[in-house]
Amino acid sequence: MTTAAVYYQHVEHGGKVIDLPVGKVVCIGQNYQDHIAEMNSLTAPEAPFFIKPNTALCAMASAIEIPKNQGAVHNELEIAVLIKQPLKQANPSQVGAAIWGYSLALDLTLREQQARLKQLGRPWEIAKGFDNACPVASFIASDKIADPQQLKFSLQVNGIARQAGDARHMIRDINALISEMSHHFTLLPGDIVLTGTPAGVGPLQAADQLQVQLADYFTLQTQVS
């Protein structure tokens, strides 16, 4: 048996480990109109929520090992929210106080696998929940961000702009979508919520150089391996 190479902890911007467990990742699909358009997605009034297991988490700053020979692995850069207090059937007004802070994460997706599974009417966990399917950057404490609903963020791949997001364009705002999630799944301290991807998803290849930026808070360089 080999030792697990995956070792993830929530980290504060500056490098300090955050004293919260490593929980599940709860995600929303179809939260930006431009991404719904690029995917030609069928939509429904209910938000599509899904979960990635905690084994999908890895540090974005380290080289990101992606699956090989399983078809295209797509980038989806999203605002990530770290939860510090339990949320069960919470109102949007109760959500803010339960948030530790904000960061960026990649909701890596085996796109061809996902399309095949959708067509078969099957769950898509294996396309979204594999090991390293959720690289996360360091978190900025919520008291340092005046209005998270105005955060801008971007992804460059090999120096070329690929995604540019603006939280003001979310269909469900952060507190509303977390409230809605908490009516399906109780959120616990150490869970991470992903808030959906804007347009610009596309395939990543080994050796790609990535640069992600969260407003004026940080710019991070990493690579795909």
Segment interacting with Zn ion, rule: CB under 5 A, options 12-20, 31-39, 55-63, 69-77: 69-77
Segment interacting with Zn ion, rule: CB under 5 A, options 12-20, 91-99, 162-170, 190-198: 190-198
Q: Which of 195, 197, 213, 222 binds Zn ion (CB under 5 A)?
A: 197
Which one, 10 or 111, has the nearer CB to Zn ion? 111
Write down the least CB distance from residue 104 to Zn ion, Å: 12
Strands 134-136 and 57-59: parallel
> Is residue 76 at the binding interface for Zn ion, with CB under 5 A as the rule?
yes
Segment interacting with Zn ion, rule: CB under 5 A, options 5-13, 71-79, 150-158, 167-175: 71-79
Strands 152-157 and 73-74: unpaired
Segment interacting with Zn ion, rule: CB under 5 A, options 4-12, 52-60, 140-148, 191-199: 191-199
Write down the least CB distance from residue 194 to Zn ion, Å: 6
The residues in 84-103 that bind Zn ion, with binding defined as CB under 5 A, are none
Residue nearest Zn ion by beta-carbon distance: 107
Which one, 76 or 191, has the nearer CB to Zn ion? 76
Write down the least CB distance from residue 109 to Zn ion, Å: 7
> Is residue 107 at the binding interface for Zn ion, with CB under 5 A as the rule?
yes
Instruction: List residues near Zn ion by CB under 5 A.
Output: 76, 107, 197
